[in-house]
Amino acid sequence: MKAKNSIEMAKHLIQILLIGTRAVGRAFVTALRQEYHASQAAAAARRTGFSGGGREESNSNDNNTSKRLGISIEEARQILNVDLEGSCQEEVQKRFDHLFKINGASRGGSLYIQSKIYRAKERLDEHYRKENAKD
């Protein structure tokens, strides 16, 4: 009788595991589909000219540069914590060096954050380069 009960319990346990595995599998597939659709929508928005920075930039060259580099001037300014009007390339370089250093892998930092800092500096350098070319 005990053997029969243990077989019944094992059958129920296997059924529960199968049902749980199916549910988790369906949830994973749904999440994957949602992420795929979201990334497709974001790519389409980038192709049509949405800069993603929250504020439209008036100069079409800045818009093109923002699309090419994937970051707006406003976002770059916020990442490096500099004021665009009151800052210079030396200040941007100083902030970049500091933030890049403290977010290094040797200090337990993140490669993702370092790449955002690098892209922000790259975007502001491009902005300053264009500003200097106008003068």
40 shares its domain with 71: no
Contact call for residues 128 and 110 (beta carbons, < 8 A): no
The residue assigned the tokens 């030396």 is 90
* Residue whose structure tokens are 């977010």: 103
Domain boundary among 50, 70, 91: 50
Tokens of 91: 């200040």
29 and 75 co-located in one domain? no
Residue 71: CATH number of its domain: 1.10.287.110
pLDDT digits (tens, 9 = 90+) for 35-44: 888 888 777 7
Whether 55 maps to a domain, the answer reads: no
The pLDDT confidence band at residue 12, using thresholds 50, 70 and 90, is very high
CA separation for the pair 77, 87 (Å, rounded): 10
Same domain flag for 67 and 115: yes
Residue 11 belongs to some domain of the structure = yes
Task: For residues 70 and 24, state if they share a domain.
Answer: no
pLDDT digit string (tens) for 70-102? 788 889 899 998 987 777 888 889 999 999 999
Clarify whether residues 85 and 126 are in a common domain.
Answer: yes
In this prediction, residue 105 carries a pLDDT of: 84
| Angle of the 111-134 helix axis to the 89-102 helix axis, nearest 10 | 170
Q: What is the number of domains present in the chain?
A: 2
Instruction: Based on the fold, state whether residues 38 and 93 are members of the same structural domain.
Output: no
Residue 57 lies in a domain: no
Residue with tokens 């029969």: 4
Residue 85 sits in the same domain as residue 128: yes
The verdict on 28 and 92 lying in the same domain is: no
Task: Give φ, ψ of 27 to 5 degrees.
Answer: -65, -40
Domain extent at residue 127: 62-135
Are residue 91 and residue 31 in the same domain, yes or no?
Answer: no
